[in-house]
A and B are shown apart, each in its own frame.
Chain A
Amino acid sequence: RKEVEQDPGPFNVPEGATVAFNCTYSNSASQSFFWYRQDCRKEPKLLMSVYSSGNEDGRFTAQLNRASQYISLLIRDSKLSDSATYLCVVNKGSSYKLIFGSGTRLLVRP
């Protein structure tokens, strides 16, 4: 089993749609969780950290479910500019080493 697993997609949605991605992780000792966004052939950029209580940043909402060991990202009112690959990132157990998922690709169409 991979340490961090994501559905590769692509998720193909119309502008204005709401879309959600899940990511599962295998190590119950993990403490740090992030969503990064990566455009084609570019470097990943931090989208948001994920906190236990859940957090929201504009159209983006991230949630953590420790019992089921998954994190989620919800994007409301999708824009064309949201088209990218979204990487789930989790620290390795109790260490600071970060493990990247293989990413979920989102395509927002007009």
Chain B
Amino acid sequence: DGGITQSPKYLFRKEGQNVTLSCEQNLNHDAMYWYRQDPGQGLRLIYYSQIVNDFQKGDIAEGYSVSREKKESFPLTVTSAQKNPTAFYLCASSTISTNEKLFFGSGTQLSVL
């Protein structure tokens, strides 16, 4: 079955530590996205990528980094510079179109120890 897989489901970060969230899709989608969701709030875009080896900052990119070495994979690193990393992180993918439907992974809940 085609889909988008995020791991791990839960992740704990110590102070000063970098952590990486995994996102893999086998839908052959060109575009991939990372969103952050805080309780009671909508999704905010962190980074997005439309093509391999290229990505752009979203609205809240500070303290995060990404790579897009393969079409299927778009890992997100939460660096120590992100001072408030506790949130629900969602990865999504889509085709490139003006009326695109987003397919989401099941999310990673990141908490600080």
Contacts and interface: CB of A to CB of B under 8 A. Distances in A.
Interface of A: 4, 8, 31-32, 34, 36, 41-46, 49, 87, 91, 96-103
Interface of B: 35, 40-45, 48, 58, 88, 90, 96-102, 104-107, 109
A87 B42 contact: yes
A91 B48 CA distance: 14
A100 B42 contact: yes
A100 B99 contact: no
Given A4-B42, A31-B99, A87-B42, 5 more contacts: A43-B104, A96-B96, A96-B97, A98-B100, A99-B42
Contacts of A101: 42
A41 B99 contact: no
A43 B90 contact: yes
Contact of B104 (A4, A44, A96): A44
B102 to A, nearest CB: 7
Contact of A46 (B43, B98, B101): B101
A42 B88 CA distance: 9
Contacts of A97: 45, 48, 58
A45 B107 CA distance: 12
A100 B43 contact: yes
A96 B98 CA distance: 6
Contacts of B42: 4, 87, 99-103
Given A31-B98, A32-B99, A42 B43 contact: no
Contacts of A46: 101-102
B90 A44 contact: yes
Contacts of A36: 102
Nearest to A103: B42
A103 B38 CA distance: 12
Given A41-B88, A42-B106, A44-B90, A96 B43 contact: no
Contacts of A45: 104
A49 to B, nearest CB: 7
25 contacts: A31-B98, A32-B99, A32-B100, A41-B88, A41-B107, A41-B109, A42-B107, A43-B107, A44-B43, A44-B90, A44-B102, A46-B101, A46-B102, A49-B99, A49-B101, A96-B96, A96-B97, A96-B98, A97-B48, A97-B58, A100-B42, A100-B43, A101-B42, A102-B42, A103-B40
